[in-house]
Structure 1
């Protein structure tokens, strides 16, 4: 049994070695599931992350292909693309320290476009037809909030955190703890946090951020 990280690194190695060039068709999701011993959801999360970074494209009814812009996308990852081997407990501890700490920067630096991106992530998460899709847009929302700080180092840290969320252990905990009621709670908490940021209410945004992350930790880890 391999991890989602192993799948991600295997795909990246094929891209970096040019074994798979622009336009190359990747194995199907079913084939990747069988080869790496992963669930369909885990494979889809890895592919969604790579697609979001411009490395691959997906066409409904046709398949997954190496992007025509793969060289540029790989160059953007060259500063250090491999996620750290981090447990869900370690990730939650880091999030509880880092995410509230950047609120003041977000309140001070966020633009109208940043708020529109946050709203889009909320919309897409609420419209998600599966837990995996919801989790993807949940991660994108937190990454968008970090991006609104307009600090390259912070953005890089949060991209790395999202890579950790793509690992199989995090996905397994999410599936075990997921209920329709909890998803609705998360959606409401996301909306309240974005509203506080748009109001430039830093104190309330910090409070809401801490409450949301504590709620997530309790549901995932039981404390």
Structure 2
């Protein structure tokens, strides 16, 4: 971790709070160094990191300004922070609450391309030679089902869930819990869910999704 990280995070927090808005000019390096009691070298490093993130822009002779894209870029940072602090148990709780409900939206809105994408995810998962590859295509299938709802908010929530699944804690638990037999069971459950979606059978799709998630939770967390 670099020396500039605490200062960078402090400035990020102030941007998040709206202390500086798009187009605003930031204090000079000298003023920032004095305000935060750090060296100008530390300030310079922090500003370079913020510039690399697209949050500020620097113009020779004019100063340092907040970019017009700051809100969108800060939104992505909030997503990343959320994903890094979400436990596997919290993720499973959220999935159990949301996925059976979202499946009904997918039943109504899924088109042929959506169903073909789900089939492809199942194909890739079944051919996967490593657990990491299987887990990737497992997550992609659930994302494909969410995308089939054709609701941008739902798709964004599932993208965040997928980010959480990529974190170390989930991966370590999955590695310990997934035996060859359990993987085969998951693959069978995935195929059954996709078939229920293809048949537009909302009750069966919802029940299969809930049963699958409970099965995963039992294997992963032991309850």
Q: Report TM bin, short chain.
A: 0.5 to 0.7
> Which residue of the partner structure matches residue 103 of structure 1?
103
Query: CA shift at 1:83, angstroms?
Result: 4.8
Query: CA shift at 1:17, angstroms?
Result: 1.4
Query: CA shift at 1:103, angstroms?
Result: 1.5
TM-score (norm 2): 0.66
Aligned-pair RMSD on alpha carbons? 2.2
Query: CA shift at 1:79, angstroms?
Result: 3.9
Q: Measure the CA separation in 1 of the matches of 2:124 and 2:81.
A: 25
Q: Measure the CA separation in 2 of the matches of 1:132 and 1:161.
A: 16
Q: Measure the CA separation in 1 of the matches of 2:73 and 2:124.
A: 26
Q: Measure the CA separation in 1 of the matches of 2:187 and 2:50.
A: 36
Q: Measure the CA separation in 1 of the matches of 2:49 and 2:106.
A: 37
Q: Measure the CA separation in 1 of the matches of 2:178 and 2:51.
A: 36
Q: Does the CA-based 8 Å contact 1:124-1:137 persist in structure 2? A: yes
Q: How many residues align?
A: 156
> Which residue of the partner structure matches residue 17 of structure 1?
52
TM-score (norm 1): 0.66
> Which residue of the partner structure matches residue 63 of structure 1?
none
Q: Measure the CA separation in 1 of the matches of 2:195 and 2:218.
A: 24
Go from structure 1 to structure 2 and tell me whether the alpha carbon gap of 1:176 and 1:111 turns closer, same or farther (over 3 Å shift): same
1:188-199 aligned within 5 A: 188-199=188-199
Higher relative CO (Cα under 8 Å, sequence separation at least 6) belongs to 1
Q: Measure the CA separation in 1 of the matches of 2:50 and 2:119.
A: 33
Q: Measure the CA separation in 2 of the matches of 1:133 and 1:124.
A: 8
Question: Where do 5+ consecutive residues of structure 2 fail to align?
Answer: 1-47, 54-70
> Which residue of the partner structure matches residue 182 of structure 1?
182
* Larger-gyration structure (1/2): 2
Q: Measure the CA separation in 2 of the matches of 1:93 and 1:119.
A: 26
Q: Measure the CA separation in 1 of the matches of 2:184 and 2:89.
A: 23
> Which residue of the partner structure matches residue 122 of structure 1?
122
Go from structure 1 to structure 2 and tell me whether the alpha carbon gap of 1:78 and 1:147 turns closer, same or farther (over 3 Å shift): farther
> Which residue of the partner structure matches residue 155 of structure 2?
155
> Which residue of the partner structure matches residue 80 of structure 2?
82
